[in-house]
Amino acid sequence: MRRWMVLGVLACACGSSSGSSSGPGSISGTVGGLPLSVKDAVFSLDSNAVTVVVADRENICALLGGTTLPGTTTALFLSMANFVPPASVNPHVTGDYAYFDLGGMSLPGTAGRYWYGGFETVTASCTQATVSLATAGTVTVTQTGNTAGTHLKANLTGLKFGSDTLNGSIEATYCPALSTTTCGNALAPPRGPVE
């Protein structure tokens, strides 16, 4: 729960699928002139908080097990929590998650479903090259994911990064490497002293 609990944070994971799959998703729009051609999406769980990475690389969970990536990788990361003040996170549920700025060094004052995230590029050596933090938007979870193989599905509406906007839908598989490896931490980085 490094994002939502240590300022009340979240974390990550990856894995198998259940039922039919519609693919990892599709995102329209650009951030800083860069589009995100979705090739894979993964999530992890940490003390009920959820971290999601949507990347322009196939087999991203397997790649996270190594110490390098095949080249510069573009990714969207989302941290989501069903937050209960003063510093608890209930299991994630379906429904709308409102944007909350965790960079402000404070937790939400009211219970609710919140998300925080960014759009970034990461080098082949798993170091962050660029990052644009989100400033607004709604993430609507339509299916909760779990470690047993159920995918996490969500719609992204009006995710703002300054004057840029992303919209789309994602279907992510569970990937424990997202929260336990150097490359995973590069793609879903902790933000500030609270994480």
Q: What is the pLDDT of residue 134?
A: 96
Half-sphere exposure at residue 51, Cβ-oriented, CA atoms within 13 angstroms: 33
Identify whether 6 is part of a domain. no
Low-confidence ranges of the chain (pLDDT < 50): 1-22, 191-195
Number of domains in the chain: 1
**52-66 per-position pLDDT tens digit:** 999 999 999 999 988
Q: What is the pLDDT of residue 190?
A: 57
Q: What is the pLDDT of residue 191?
A: 47
Q: What is the pLDDT of residue 35?
A: 96
Identify whether 4 is part of a domain. no
Identify whether 7 is part of a domain. no
Identify whether 75 is part of a domain. yes
Identify whether 194 is part of a domain. no
Identify whether 51 is part of a domain. yes
Identify whether 8 is part of a domain. no
Residue range of the domain that includes 134: 25-187
Identify whether 15 is part of a domain. no
Q: What is the pLDDT of residue 62?
A: 94
pTM above 0.75, yes or no: yes
